[in-house]
Amino acid sequence: MDSSQFREAGHAAIEDIAQYYDTLAERPVLPSIVPGYLRPQLPDSVPEEGEEWSKIQSDIERVIVPGLTHWQSPKFMAFYPCNSSFPAMLGEMYSASFNAAAFNWICSPVVTELETIVMDWVAKLLNLPDCYLSHGEGGGIIQGTASEVVLTSLVAARERIIRRRLKDVPEGEERMDKAAEMRGKLVALASEHVHSSTQKAAVIAGTRFRTVPAPKEHNFSVTTAALRQTIEECKVKGIEPYYFTATLGSTATCAVDDLAGIAELAKEYPDIWIHVDAAYAGSALICPEYQHLCPPLAAFDSFNFNMHKWLLVNFDCSAFFIKKRKDLIDTYSITPSFLRNEFSESGMVIDYRDWQIPLGRRFRSLKVWFVLRTYGVKGLRDFIRGHIKLGEYFHTLLTSRADLFTVVTAPAFGLTTFHVNALSASASTLSSSPANKPNPAHEAYLNDFTNSAEAQFREDATQVTKQVYEKVNSQGEFFLTSTVVG
Ligand code: PLP
C-alpha cells in the first residue's frame, strides 16, 4: 500500500467507523454467534498474493462486526465502561503513524516531554497532592493497564524493602541468597474486595498475598483497625507486609477504603508501600465535589486510574503517579552500553524505560492531549457528572420498585449494586407487578428474619438474580454482569 492508496483506504475506513458509531445504538450489544464461528469463514493460511484493501475492508462488516461485543453501545451495562472518543482515536492514528519504541528521551524527545506535561496536567486536574507532579521528586507515567501499574509498583516495593534491609550487605552471592530468603517472607496485602491484579502481581513477584477483611457493615471498605490487625497478625507469623493496595472504587461495589485513616497508619509502617488503585473511580476526582478524597494520597507511595475506563481516552491508558520516582528507577534502571547516551547521562532528561517493566513504549500521551484539549475541564466534568446523574436516576428507579429489588450498596460514583428479591422475582412477576407498589407480604417476611432465614433468603436472592440477568443477557439487547459480595 503506498501513500495514495493509504489516503483512499483511510478515508473509506473513517467513513466506515463513523457509520459504525452512528448505528451503534440500534445494534444488539451482544453478538449472536457460537464459539469457533470465525475459523470456517477464513482461509487456512496467509494468502499467497496480497489482496486489495476494498476486499479486506468488506470483511470487517462480514466477519468481524458479527463477533463484536459492542462496548461503546449505550446498552452495554457490564463490567465498567471502557470509553472511547473521536479525538482519542485520532491520537491513536497519529501515534501509529509516527510509530516509535520511544524508551529513552533521545528515541523521540516529544514522546517523553509531552507525556510529562500531560501527566502534570492530569495531576492538577484531579487536584492530586503536589508530590505527584514532575517538578519535585515524583511524576506521572502512562502505562497500559491498572494491572501493569500494580505489578510495576509491587515489584518496586519488594526491591525497596530488600534494599533497605540489606543496605549493609555488599553485592555478591551472599546478598543474593539473603534477598531470595527475604522475598519468600514478604506479603502483599489488600482488601478482600481488591481487584485480582494485586494477587496476580504478588504471584509474579514470588511473594505472599493476604486479604484484609472489609465486611458489609463497613460498606465493604478496609478500615484502619482491620488493616492494622492484619499487619500485626502477619508479623506474629514471621512474615513481613511490604505492599498494600488501597482501593478507591472497588470492582464489585465501588467501595473506598478508609484513605484518611490509612494515611495516619502509614506513618507507623514506613516500609509498607501503599498504592491507591482508583482504576474506575479515579476519573471522578476531576470534579471538585470528589476531591476531598485527594489529600490523604500525599501519605502514600503511588496512585493510578484508568483514563480508558471513564475519561474518554481509548484503551489503553492507565495514568500512574509516583511520589518518589527514585523508588522505580532504583529497581528498573539497568543500562547496558547500547542504551547509554549523553542525554541520559546528563541527568537532564527522563528515560521512562526506567519507570516501567517493558523497554519500548507507545506514544500514548498524544491521545490524552487531544482529549483534554477537545473537551476541556468543563466538558470532562459535564461528562462525569452526567454519568453520576444517570446512576442516581437508576437508583431511584430501583427504590421505586422495592417489591422487586433490594439495593445492596447505594450509588457510589456511577455504580449501584442491587439484587432481585427472592420472594417476588420471577419472570411472570417481573412483567406483571404494578409499578411503585411495595409488596406488604414481602416486607413482613423481611422483618421476620432469623439468621438462618436470612441466609436462605440471600441464597434464594442470589439464584433468582442470576436467573434474571442471564435471561436479560440471553436476549442479546443489553449486557449486564454480576458480582457476589458479603
Ligand atoms: N483495579 C480495579 C479497581 C478494577 O476495577 C479493574 C478492572 O475493572 C482493574 C484494576 C484492572 O484494570 P486493567 O484491565 O486496566 O488491568
Å from CA of 95 to ligand 1 middle: 24
396: exposed, middle or buried (C-beta count within 10 Å: 0-12, 13-18, 19+)?
exposed
Q: Which residues pair with 140 in a beta bridge?
A: 321
**Rounded Cα–Cα distance for residues 241 and 200 (Å):** 16
Is it the case that residue 58 has pLDDT exceeding 60?
A: yes
* Whether the bond into 120 is cis, omega within 30 of 0: no
Q: Which of 150, 253, 277 has most ligand 1 atoms within 8 Å of CB, for mutation?
A: 277
Is residue 416 pLDDT above 90, yes or no? Answer: yes
Whole-number Å distance between alpha carbons of 447 and 436: 20
Domains of the chain from N-terminus onward: 3-81 (1.20.1340.10), 95-372 (3.40.640.10), 391-480 (no CATH)
Name the DSSP class of 246. E
Cα separation, 53 vs 50, whole angstroms:
9
pLDDT tens profile 37-49:
999 999 999 999 9
Enter the C-alpha cell of residue 412.
457510589
**Phi, psi torsion values for 479, nearest 5 degrees:** -130, 120
Q: Quote the DSSP letter at residue 313.
A: P
The confidence score (pLDDT) of residue 200 equals: 97
Q: Which atom of ligand 1 is nearest to the CA of 144?
A: 15
Torsion, Cα of 443, 445, 447, 450 (10° steps): -160
Residue 428 has pLDDT above 60, yes or no: no
The per-residue pLDDT for 438 is 45
Ligand 1: list residues with CB < 6 Å: 80, 145-147, 195, 197, 247, 249-251, 277, 279-280, 306, 318
The pLDDT score that the predictor gives to residue 423 is: 65
246 C-alpha to ligand 1 centroid (Å): 13
**How distant, in Å, are the alpha carbons of 93, 315, 362 from that of 97?**
6, 17, 11
User: Pocket of ligand 1, candidates 82, 251, 318, 417: which has the most ligand atoms within 8 Å of its Cβ, to mutate?
Assistant: 251
| Chain segment 165-180, per-residue pLDDT in tens | 999 999 999 999 999 9
Residue 16 has pLDDT above 80, yes or no: yes
For 209, the enclosing helix (H) or strand (E) is: strand 208-212
| 209-217, long-range: CB < 8 A, 24+ apart | 210/234, 210/241, 212/244, 214/255, 214/257, 215/486, 216/485, 216/486
Segments of 323-384 assigned E as strands: none
* pLDDT tens for each residue of 299-340: 999 999 999 999 999 999 999 999 999 999 999 988 878 888
| Å from CA of 316 to ligand 1 middle | 12
CA of 407 to the centre of ligand 1 (A): 24
pLDDT at residue 454 tops 80: no
Q: Work out the number of other CB atoms within 10 angstroms of the CB of residue 304.
A: 26
Spacing, Cα 46 to ligand 1 middle (Å): 36
Cβ burial 187-207 (10 Å sphere, 16+ → b, else e): bbbbbbbbbebbbebbeebeb
Percentage of the chain beyond pLDDT 90 is 84
In this structure, the number of other CB atoms found within 10 A of the CB of residue 356 comes to: 21
Q: pLDDT grade, residue 15 (50/70/90)? A: very high
The answer to whether 276 and 246 are in contact (CB under 8 A) is yes
DSSP H or E run through 177: helix 173-183
Q: Residue 442 pLDDT > 90, yes or no?
A: no
Mean pLDDT of the chain: 92
Looking at the CA of residue 306, tell me the nearest atom of ligand 1: 15
Could you identify the atom of ligand 1 that is nearest to the CA of residue 148?
16
Distance 231 CA to ligand 1 centre (A): 25
344-350 CB contacts, 8 Å cutoff, 24+ apart: 344/104, 344/105, 344/106, 349/104, 349/105, 349/106, 349/109, 349/112, 350/105, 350/112, 350/116, 350/134, 350/139
Buried b / exposed e across 222-238, counting CB within 10 Å, b at 16+?
A: bbbebbbebbeebeeee
122 by Cβ neighbours in 10 Å (0-12 / 13-18 / 19+) ranks as buried
CA of 410 to the centre of ligand 1 (A): 21
User: Where do the H-state alpha helices sit in 24-139?
Assistant: 53-59, 86-98, 109-125
Listed in sequence order, the residues at least 6 apart from 209 whose beta carbon sits closer than 8 Å to its beta carbon are: 187, 188, 189, 190, 198, 199, 202, 203
ipTM of the prediction: 0.97
The answer to whether residues 134 and 128 touch, using CB atoms and an 8 Å cutoff, is no
Kindly indicate the confidence band of residue 446, based on its pLDDT and cuts at 50, 70 and 90: very low
User: Of 435 and 31, which is predicted with more confidence?
Assistant: 31
241 and 202 in contact (C-beta within 8 Å)?
no
> 363: closest CA among 60, 90, 43?
90
Distance, in Å, from the CA atom of 135 to the CA atom of 149, rounded to the nearest integer, reads: 21
